[in-house]
């Protein structure tokens, strides 16, 4: 028992040097995140400066400058929330499935959110980010539940079956979404903005609407950190240490579903954040899931906010949606992940 415990990443056998390195990396990550928040507030398609932001905070800014700066508060808060949810969800999914290419769209969550929005827009006349959010949430949750039930049922249940179930559910829902949007131009015009992924055009109501899913998902993820470390040793070793691999896997998928649903419903299916961030964190920290979850919650928002800033300033006065920017950033991460898999295979 003691030997196995020391073998766990970050267990009692971890060195003080490792803990000091983690502390320094966490401090650096928090600094980068703080700078990303300031950049998100200070920079945009309408030029402003750090002095303008300071004037707004002190109440000395001109009304038009205050309006511009204050309009960036909701998208900054949304970037923090969505980046955190996507990054932690990606870490959980890659840990639970042992698939380094797993991301929040693996279990049909993105397709479910898309189907919910398209259904509400086409048949109920719903429009606007705050209104469609409430329909994206049940669509994503229902898709995740169906994948989990189908993939976990029967004697042949396993990770492969879960992944295949997610692929089938995603294919069916994507076909439905395409059929509805291509036959209804009004729905297509509304849907095409959401499906790219964007932080702009939303208010604090969207943030508050996503919190009831994001908060319990994050708390469950933090609690699962030690159990994911045990699961990484293999199912037989995890069982010997008193853990239940099936329960750990189910709770991990539930937490990832809650987090992915909150982010996807609020900002759209932003690609590669949930895929790239876990690889970045593992390269810095190793395989300790307790540290990975905490660092993912810092790196994810920083990456998403910086990508949003780039999208706002690179084509001034136009804006490039953050989903496009993260795709350009995440594509190299995907290629590196594939190369690492080939090197270790």
**Are the beta carbons of 206 and 75 closer than 8 angstroms?**
no
pLDDT given at position 292: 93
Question: Tens digits of per-residue pLDDT, 225-258?
Answer: 888 888 777 767 767 776 777 788 888 888 998 8
Residue 317 preceded by cis peptide, ω within 30:
yes
pLDDT given at position 342: 55
- How far, in Å, CA of 116 to CA of 47, rounded? 37
**Are the beta carbons of 179 and 116 closer than 8 angstroms?**
no
**Are the beta carbons of 250 and 299 closer than 8 angstroms?**
no
Burial zone of 80 (CB within 10 Å; 0-12 exposed, 13-18 middle, 19+ buried): buried
- Which pTM value belongs to this model? 0.85
- How far, in Å, CA of 53 to CA of 167, rounded? 46
- How far, in Å, CA of 322 to CA of 309, rounded? 8
What are the boundaries of each domain within the chain?
2-344
Question: Tens digits of per-residue pLDDT, 80-100?
Answer: 999 999 999 999 988 888 777
Spell out, as residue ranges, where the chain has pLDDT lower than 70.
1-17, 128-130, 152-159, 235, 238, 242, 333-334, 337-338, 340-345
pLDDT given at position 4: 39
Residues 2-344: name the CATH superfamily.
ABC transporter involved in vitamin B12 uptake, BtuC (1.10.3470.10)
């Amino acid at each position: 028992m003691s030997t196995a415990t020391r073998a766990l990443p970050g267990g009692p056998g971890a060195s003080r040097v490792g803990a000091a390195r983690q502390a320094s990396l966490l401090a650096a990550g928090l600094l980068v995140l703080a700078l990303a928040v300031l950049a998100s507030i200070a920079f945009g398609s309408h030029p402003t400066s750090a002095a303008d932001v300071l004037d707004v905070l002190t109440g000395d800014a001109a009304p038009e400058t205050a309006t511009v700066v204050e309009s960036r508060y909701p998208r900054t808060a949304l970037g923090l929330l969505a980046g955190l949810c996507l990054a932690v969800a990606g870490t959980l999914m890659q840990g639970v499935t042992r698939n380094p290419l797993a991301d929040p769209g693996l279990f049909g969550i993105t397709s479910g959110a898309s189907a919910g929005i398209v259904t509400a827009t086409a048949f109920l006349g719903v429009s606007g980010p705050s209104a469609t959010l409430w329909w994206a949430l049940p669509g994503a949750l229902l898709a995740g539940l169906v994948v989990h039930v189908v993939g976990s049922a029967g004697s042949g249940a396993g990770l492969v079956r879960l992944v295949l179930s997610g692929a089938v559910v995603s294919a069916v829902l994507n076909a439905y979404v395409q059929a509805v949007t291509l036959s209804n131009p009004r729905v297509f015009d509304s849907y095409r903005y959401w499906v790219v992924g964007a932080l702009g055009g939303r208010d604090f109501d969207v943030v508050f609407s996503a919190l009831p899913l994001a908060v319990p998902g994050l708390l469950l993820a933090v609690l699962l950190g030690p159990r994911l470390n045990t699961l990484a040793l293999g199912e037989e070793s995890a069982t010997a240490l008193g853990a239940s691999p099936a329960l750990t896997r189910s709770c991990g998928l539930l937490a990832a579903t809650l987090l992915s649903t909150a982010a996807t419903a609020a900002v759209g299916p932003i690609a590669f954040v949930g895929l790239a961030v876990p690889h970045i964190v593992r390269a810095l920290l190793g395989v300790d899931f307790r540290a990975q979850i905490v660092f993912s919650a810092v790196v994810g928002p920083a990456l998403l906010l910086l990508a949003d800033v780039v999208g706002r300033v690179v084509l001034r006065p136009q804006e490039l949606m953050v989903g496009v920017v993260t795709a350009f950033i995440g594509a190299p991460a995907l290629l590196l992940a594939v190369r690492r898999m080939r090197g270790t295979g």
